[in-house]
Structure 1
């Protein structure tokens, strides 16, 4: 028994390390491919380490495409990400406060309808949304991408409602006795107590908007307003030679903000997701 317990930990760590390597292999393959010549990337796809290290891929990729450097597209993405994240977090928290604390007729029905939208495929609403934004004259602007986030995100609303339900209602009663109104109750009492869920929503919003390709492809027409995902696509040309090396190099660069956000806020992610199912 002691021998088995002594051998169990090394076996466990070897298994976890092998699984982690398997999960990270696509990223490692992309990283090492960013140092290969474009014409040899898929010829030597079965070999991870490049025969010769081509550092110029990063310089070529950073120079950008369509007349704009790659940092220009990063800036465009950051503008969309920041505005969308602020809108999603603020609107979702306000709606969640209404579902979690306010009493109104049909609250259960409206909450159920909101939850049903989580099961609605995004592709179903693409055509109606496109028609609406076209008639509003919002094409080739970031408005169709950022404005809908200011009307709440169902997943974030559900997450925050679960947090709000864990807060004792005695705090509401004490604040009301002291003359605290509904909006002040939301702003000064509830918001500070659901910081974990707010951080979790902000992180997920950052991830989803940073990697979004469909929205920019539908609504942005000029290269000046393209995002990182669209800039990466422009390295590939169906009519001439595609610069795979530069594309993989800038793909690695585009992962840096995502990885930084994860490692900085991983505690909030775990805490927010682990407590989202609790009820008071």
Structure 2
């Protein structure tokens, strides 16, 4: 067997395995999209068939109608408000904190860095009750503030990610900028920020995913249905005391994934660049 034939066979095997793995990973999404076009009574009876016997597009209209006069347009709007503001806060202020830890010397710098890193190891269940009590003191319950305000103090994972970029940027650039009359703030905006754009874009993508899919925090802090994001609104379809509208549930779940899919395909290259590249390319 020639070398070219061996290489061809290896490629065919590799592509075959990738296709199988891709099919396994995508099957739940395909099943969900298919179920959104079936009658609610047939979703689980005919679960093994991906192609519906009768295409029921009315599930999307019924699901979009929402509950109690609140359409899913309101829930989409709420999710975009929470996700957008929280993402902006987490990315911008994580960059500021990362710059401070990387470039500015201050008393207790190492101690506060260790404290910040330790917060990454705390599970949400451990801080859930203390945070609720604190936000209750602030009278923030049933508002978006508990979901948005903490992001404006930075996210430890994003801070650490951006610090790795900033540390690869030569300090000679800072010194040259100071000779030209730049202060600390000017150096950050004119030198550092343009060079850490890949890291900031990566943080933006991850933050958007996490906030868009967040269920526990809105469940704890929000009480008024008009303020619910999509994650809580989808739960309203399931009613143990009556018949669940499975068709509408899967229809709205399919629509709720569209923003994530669009953002992934548009910015997927930034995920790789943000993690694998350094802050300064030679």
Bucket of the pairwise TM-score, normalised by the shorter protein? over 0.9
**Which of 214-223 and 142-151 deviates more?**
214-223
- Residues 57-80 of structure 1: CA distance to partner in whole angstroms, max 9, x if unpaired? 111111112311111100011011
Take 1:20 and 1:79, find their aligned partners in 2: how far apart are those partners? 33
Equivalences for residues 11-160 of structure 1 within 5 A = 11-160=13-162
Rounded to whole Å, the distance in 2 between the matches of 1:275 and 1:113 is: 27
| Mapping of residues 168-179 of structure 1, within 5 Å | 168-179=170-181
CA contact (8 A) 2:140 2:146 kept: yes
Q: TM-score, normalised by structure 2?
A: 0.95
Q: How far has the Cα of 1:48 moved from its partner? A: 2.0
Gap regions ≥5 residues in structure 1: none
CA distance in 1, matches of 2:97, 2:141: 28
| Residue 185 (structure 1) aligned with residue 187 (structure 2) | yes
Mean Cα displacement is larger for which, 60-69 or 217-226?
60-69
The equivalences for 1:210-229 within 5 A come to: 210-229=212-231
Provide runs of 4+ in structure 1 moved above 3 Å. Answer: none
- CA positional deviation for 1:156: 0.2
Task: Summarize deviations over 1:92-148 as a string: whole Å, max 9, x none.
Answer: 000000111111233222212211111111110000000011111111100010000
Hey, what's the Cα distance between the residues in 2 that align with 1:129 and 1:269?
A: 31
**Structure 2 residue ranges without an equivalent (≥5):** none
Q: Classify the secondary structure of the residue corresponding to 2:139.
A: coil
> How far did 1:276 drift?
6.4
Conserved 8 A contact 1:57-1:249: yes
The aligned residue for residue 200 of structure 1 is 202
Aligned position for 2:265: 263
TM-score (norm 1): 0.96
Q: Does the 8 Å contact 2:168/2:278 carry over to 1?
A: no
Deviates more, 1:40-49 or 1:169-178: 40-49
Give distance in 1, aligned partners of 2:163 and 2:114.
13
Greater shift, 111-120 or 130-139, is seen at: 111-120
Distance of 1:21 and 1:13 partners within structure 2: 12
Counterpart-to-counterpart distance in 2, 1:121 and 1:105? 29
In structure 2, what is the Cα distance between the partners aligned to 1:271 and 1:173?
A: 27
1:160, 1:276 within 8 Å by CA — same for their partners in 2? no
Match of 1:9 in 2: 11
Tell me, in whole angstroms, the C-alpha distance in 2 between the residues paired with 1:249 and 1:164. 44
Shift of 1:17: 0.6
Q: Contact 1:66–1:223 (CA<8 Å) still a contact in 2? A: no
User: Equivalents in 2 of 1:20, 1:277: separation in Å?
Assistant: 32
